Amino acid sequence: MSDELTALRDELEGAVLAAGSLEALEDVRVRALGRRGAVTELMKSLGKVAPEERRERGQALNRLKQAVSDAIDARKAALADVELERRLAAERIDITLPVRPAPEGSLHPISQTIDEITQIFGEMGFRWAEGPDIEDDWYNFTALNIPPEHPARQEMDTFYLAAEEGRARPVLRTHTSPVQIRTMLSEPPPLRVIVPGRTYRSDHDATHSPMFHQVEGLAIGRSIHMGHLKGCLIAFCRAFFGVADLPVRFRPSHFPFTEPSAEVDIGCTREGGQLRIGAGGDWLEILGSGMVHPKVIANCGLDPEEWQGFAFGMGIERIAMLKYGIPDLRTMYDSDLRWLRHYGFRPLDIPGLIAEAAE
């Protein structure tokens, strides 16, 4: 091999050994053996060499090409070993380290109670529905057969917003019942919906909040009667409170949007100054219910002679307080982590009719 080729080989092998990464090594390979590399250009120039020297020159260039290629392969293997060692060192697990602490996140009792309610009614064929927090007067009051002189319309009970010219003042919805109206107007019957959501009333003490949560249920169909309502709510109460033989009674009442109407009570005892849900000598009111008033059905464009239904509603905070022994409603909104650690729930703690039956 001529001095020229020897010097080129030494230069290229030095560059190969100096390559500190696979990317740098690839640059050396392209510079030496690529389409326009130094060795490739010399191979292309063989045609200009005298015939008597061409064979010897060609053999020398092949030896140069092979030497550089072998050097590159050896360096590539070495760099790959270094990279593997680096990765193994970085990904090494120290088995002497302590176990990672369990996550501390938990569900708020209100979120838990909403999940429980929707799970139980979902197994009865009800689906989730929702609507806006700011409602028109018609949806919140008029369509629900609430007359203009009704106390619920007074400013001492209801939060009103500024009205546009020529229109009634919008309100922060006082119940989730407007969603029932919106559902009946937008979907053909038969239907079953459960409607949890925020509601607003001008009240604040240990058992009332200006913003609180309600859940309402609505079922519309042909030949629905009071027996369907009673069976549905008795099954719910027993599943929610986890008492298979929980006494449930229905007391006649009055609501503008249902006729007949009934308050629903569950059995309890207050012996020893403590409230216990179940069979006992006392009753506790938990929700209101009734058959949907024919005027409400007509307001939604349905024929009350053909379609009937039942509806019910309850305060989510109230039944959460009863089930989980929370004494003060206001603590639910204090953002106190100590309170949440005490009353919080794991994300999968969601009972239902099927789960209760299995237990």
d(C-alpha 304, C-alpha 313), whole Å: 21
What's the rounded Cα separation, in Å, for the pair 183 and 312?
15
Check residue 245 and give left, alpha or beta (phi > 0: left; psi -120 to 50: alpha): alpha
Q: Residue 322's closest CA among 264, 255, 235?
A: 264
Exposed/middle/buried for residue 204 (C-beta within 10 Å: 0-12, 13-18, 19+):
exposed
CB 209 within 8 A of CB 329: yes
Question: In a structure prediction context, what are the per-residue pLDDT tens digits for the chain, which is 359 residues long?
Answer: 577 778 888 888 888 888 888 888 888 888 888 888 888 888 888 777 787 777 787 788 888 888 888 888 888 888 888 888 888 888 877 777 777 776 667 889 999 999 999 999 999 999 999 999 999 989 999 999 998 888 877 777 888 888 787 788 899 999 999 999 999 999 999 999 999 999 998 876 655 678 889 999 999 999 999 999 999 999 999 999 999 999 999 999 999 999 999 999 999 988 887 888 888 889 999 999 999 999 999 999 999 999 999 999 999 999 999 888 888 888 888 888 888 888 888 766 655 554 443 34
301 burial level (CB within 10 Å; 0-12, 13-18, 19+): exposed
Kindly give, in sequence order, each residue whose CB lies less than 8 Å from that of residue 174, ignoring residues fewer than 6 positions away: 140, 152, 157, 158, 199, 200, 201
- Whether the Cβ atoms of residue 228 and residue 310 lie closer than 8 Å to each other: yes
Matching residue, tokens 């059995």: 267
Q: Which residues contact 338 (CB under 8 A, 6 or more apart)?
A: none
3-state SS class at 190: coil
